[in-house]
Structure 1
Amino acid sequence: MNQSHTEWAYADLFSGCGGMSAGLAATDRFVPVYAADNDKWANATYAANLGHAPEQLDLLTLQDEDLRVAWAEQVRARAQGKPFLLTGGPPCQGFSSHVKVRGDRKGRNQLFSVFGDLAVALRPDVVMIENVADLVSSRSWDLFDELRSKLREAGYGVRARILNMAQLGVPQERFRTVVLATLNRTPTFPQVRCDPSNFSTVKDWIGHLPPIASGEPNPADPMHVTSRHRASTIEILRQVPQDGGSRPAGVGPECLDRTRGSHGGYTDVYGRLAWSGPAPTITARCRTPSCGRFAHPEQDRGMTAREAGLLQTFPADWQFAGPFDDRYKQIGNAVPPLAAQAFGDHIADGMPEVASEVGLFEVEDKPVGSSFSVLIPGIRRRGGVLNP
């Protein structure tokens, strides 16, 4: 059978506001049979934009084997014999470089283990996991290695690579670990679509949006509105050079100058996006200029939800449900739909060998180090690649 015309079914766990599902839908080759998340506002966004509602479910409730097997039988039956993809991004906060202690005090890292158990019970043809790059650092290596071992013992070939999503056309330097597992064969990764010379740019994706002031409502698009910044924040931004500029020394809180002088830190705080290149990673805090390089290239304000959503490659009419801050959390935690679409096409095509697989680093049998994140500034200086 020609793989390019085969219709696939998929289940999306930790489905969030629908980034992965939006990308798979854009391929016109995947049919959703199940989605689940424990976040009510993310579920509301997913349902409003994709037309089917995720189950609001804490997957830790499926730790019991009998419950897990019953769940898997019900979900698999919905696939009606189609090739089946299981995808998911277990919550990553416990793996992030911003967490200074090993593990997750709330115990949510157990969800990573539960995801592996659900994958084994469901037995899909392909498993895809997206997470932060530091999933494969020393702090979280045991969890990653446990999952990989479970899948291998169940008959899956498993590979993991650290990606810069800009290689797939996403207008961000977004570094993520992607794990692919394929039943009875070794998976391949999609072809690189962009190199540093033609990465998508901020201007490509948000340059057309109408200018707005801090906190100013936009009657044409309720997602295109910023926080109402303090006067002191706006005064700082007025002194930051346009189009990629950084906060000058002596501007803003004195503590920022002290940390810059002592160890060179926090240079992106109050920085502006640059029109001519990709954005840094869009995070749940991207509405706040004091949390990174998230100020508009020219206007004296932070990012709107519409701008953040577009830089995450969500459709231009996507509506994010919930309180103001929650919209940004949904966006920052999402898989960029454009990246999900690239993986979906590659999977539906039968995972052919490609000339140049996307990814900066192949994860083998040891951690990438105490933190992959410490390598990111150098990668950015080299134009988004691991080595010159």
Structure 2
Amino acid sequence: MYQIENTIDIDKSFILKEDEATYHSRCSGELLHSRERYRLIDLFCGAGGMSLGFSEVFGQPFQSVWANDYNQFCGDTYNENFGPHCVVGDIVEILDQGKIEIPKADVVIGGPPCQGFSLLNKNRENDPRKELWRPYLEVVERSGASIFIMENVPQLLGTFEHGEIVGAARSLGFRVWQEKLIAADYGVPQTRTRAFIIGCKFADPAVLFPPRKTHFNPNGNGKPLTLPFNKVEYLSTPPKWKTVRDAIADLPAPEGTEIRNVPPPLDLHFGRTPTELSRKRYRAIPREGMNRFDLQRIAPELTPKCWIRKKSGGTDLFGRLWWDKPSVTIRTEFFKPEKGRYLHPKQHRPITHREAARFQSFPDSFKFLGSKIEVAKQIGNAVPPLLAARVADVVRLLLDQKYGKWTSSQEQNEVKLCRG
């Protein structure tokens, strides 16, 4: 059984107390034999959730050599955790000016800003952010990468732009595949769904992608709804989806209203100062799973008139999380319960930054820099590192195959373990 070498001094009590064992059970003893680390570029990197999943922290043989984001706070956070090689600025200008040489890399990862495709964007028809996949592929070409991973909202797949991305990648010599992945299927305590497009120059990525699920969605009897698992890998049944209880039950009540200079996890475990009206609304819907419709039924006098007029949709608005289900998708304003199901299952308050970071599967010791608003954006926009780690399994196997680092029997075994 191998040992994960931490480049960040993480507390594995939450992230890896079960997933490490699950991951070990899927992997052969030779999985992380001595070898060179693969070079990685992360574009539109944000805080670096995707890079973290591809790093040694999650047992992966990748090393980030260059990164880019437009936001200075994201760049500061990335450089604090991965080393000073994130260049802050507009990627289009960086490429046009030609003052910065793009280093050579084995793989390029990243998520061009997704608001252009998001259903939340009412002006998405003419949104220029839909075009940022073009400089992304230019970096892929300049770096000489033989694999790329592009992450985005699920609404991207099937669009005209999706077709353009595939066509452009094929013109560069890539074979392309795509899937929608649910983070909870890979041990993240959150039902976040994201689209992943994978391109590979030397093999058909559809043979290995999507990565094999590690956790299952239980029905009322606790049985798997689907069985994309090899029964030999598990003594009984594979583990269930991680839940809100798994992620945050050990945390005390939050203190203060600002980021605190105390050790994690309490540094980001702070609250807000809601109005008395907001407090009354929280108390009016005390049971987990309740939402704005319950508030209107129980206390119409406390319900905003705009919610009363809106008869349908938005069932997650002003909703409480469930203890024994995964969190809903964490967005950038998770601290505002009027934006989604972001009320604590029991306490009369919204979730904290630390709780949101755990729902995203960030280890407690990952360092976020910036104001509390900027940190919230970094958390909400991130690719869950644990999901990224399972995508990295596929990339690692493809590159190992390319460089002849497996015997034939090892390769066959790894293919079975990585893909159902």
TM-score between the two structures when normalised by the length of structure 2: 0.75
The aligned counterpart of 2:252 is 210
The question of 1:310 aligning with 2:358 is answered yes
User: For 1:136 and 1:164, how far apart are their aligned partners in 2?
Assistant: 15
Give yes or no for contact 1:95–1:132 (8 Å, CA) kept in 2. Answer: yes
Indicate the larger mover: 335-344 or 114-123: 114-123
Displacement of 1:133 after TM fit?
A: 0.7
Q: 1:214 to 1:271 in 2, by over 3 A?
A: farther
Instruction: Give the Å deviation of 1:162.
Output: 1.1
Residues 18 and 334, structure 1, Cα contact 8 Å, conserved in 2: yes
- 1-side partners of 2:258 and 2:286: how far apart? 23
Deviation digits for residues 9-56 of structure 1 (CA, Å, limit 9, x no counterpart): 111111110101111112241111111111111111122233334111
Aligned residue number for residue 13 of structure 1: 43
CA contact 1:274–1:297 (8 Å) conserved in 2? yes
**Structure 2 counterpart of 1:86, which letter?**
V
Correspondence 1:1-388 to 2 at 5 A: 5=33, 6=35, 7-25=37-55, 26=57, 27-62=59-94, 64=96, 67=98, 71-72=101-102, 75-76=103-104, 79=105, 84-105=106-127, 107-137=128-158, 141-187=159-205, 188-189=208-209, 190-197=211-218, 198-212=240-254, 215=257, 221-247=266-292, 248=294, 249=296, 250=300, 251-260=302-311, 264-350=312-398, 353-354=415-416, 357=419
- Distance in structure 2 (CA, Å) of the matches to 1:232 and 1:319: 34
Contact kept? 1:202, 1:277, Cα under 8 Å? yes
Q: Secondary structure at the match of 2:203?
A: coil
- Amino acid aligned to 1:121: R
Shift of 1:213: 6.3
Taking structure 1 as reference, are residues 269 and 333 closer, same or farther at Cα in structure 2, changes over 3 Å only?
same
Contact in 2 for aligned 1:168/1:342 (Cα 8 Å): yes
Note closer, same or farther for the CA distance 1:104–1:318 as it changes in structure 2 (3 Å cut): farther
Distance 1:52 1:217, change over 3 A: closer
Residue 148 of structure 1 and its aligned partner are, at CA, apart by: 0.9
Q: Per-residue displacement from partner, 1:185-234 (whole Å, max 9, x unpaired)?
A: 21122111111021110111111111136838765522111232222112
CA drift of 1:4 comes to: 5.0
Q: Secondary structure at the match of 1:145?
A: helix
Farther off after superposition, 318-327 or 171-180: 318-327
Question: How far apart are the structure 2 equivalents of 1:173 and 1:357?
Answer: 21
Q: Secondary structure at the match of 1:34?
A: strand
**Which structure is richer in relative contact order (CA contacts within 8 A, separation 6 or more)?**
1
Distance of 1:232 and 1:357 partners within structure 2: 51
CA shift at 1:183, angstroms?
0.9
8 Å contact from structure 2 (residues 150, 197) kept in 1: yes
Residue in 1 that maps onto 2:25: none
Separation in 1, partners of 2:259, 2:204: 51
CA contact (8 A) 1:86 1:126 kept: yes
Q: CA RMSD in A?
A: 2.3
1:253-307 deviation per Cα after TM superposition (whole angstroms, max 9, x unaligned): 12212213xxx21221111111101111000111100000001111111121111
- Structure 2 counterpart of 1:212, one-letter code: P
Letter in 1 for 2:308: D
Question: In the alignment, is the contact (CA less than 8 A) between 1:16 and 1:330 conserved in 2?
Answer: yes
Paired residues of 2:358 and 2:364 also in contact (CA < 8 A): yes
Shift in CA distance, 34/63, structure 1 to aligned 2, threshold 3 Å: closer
- In the alignment, structure 1 segments of 5+ residues that lack a partner are 359-388
Structure 1 length as normaliser, TM-score? 0.81
Alignment-mate amino acid for residue 363 of structure 2? P
How far apart, in 2, do the equivalents of 1:51 and 1:31 lie? Answer: 10
- Percent identity of paired positions between Structure 1 and Structure 2: 31
| Equivalent-residue separation in structure 2 for 1:154 and 1:300 (angstroms) | 54
What is the number of residues matched between the two proteins?
340
- Bigger drift between 176-185 and 47-56 goes to 47-56
Query: How far apart in 2 are the matches of 1:212 and 1:168?
Result: 28
Q: Is the Cα–Cα contact under 8 Å of residues 270 and 353 in structure 2 kept in the other structure?
A: yes
Instruction: Spell out, residue by residue over 1:67-88, the C-alpha distance to the aligned partner (whole angstroms, 9 max, x if none).
Output: 39x734xx11xx5xxxx11101
CA contact (8 A) 2:360 2:385 kept: yes
C-alpha distance in structure 1 between counterparts of 2:256 and 2:309, whole Å: 29
Question: Take 1:124 and 1:278, find their aligned partners in 2: how far apart are those partners?
Answer: 36
Distance (Å, rounded) in 2 between the aligned partners of 1:192 and 1:16: 26
Whether the aligned pair in 1 keeps the contact of 2:146 and 2:201 (CA below 8 Å) is yes
Tell me which residue corresponds to 2:224.
none
Retained in 1: the 8 A contact 2:41–2:65? yes
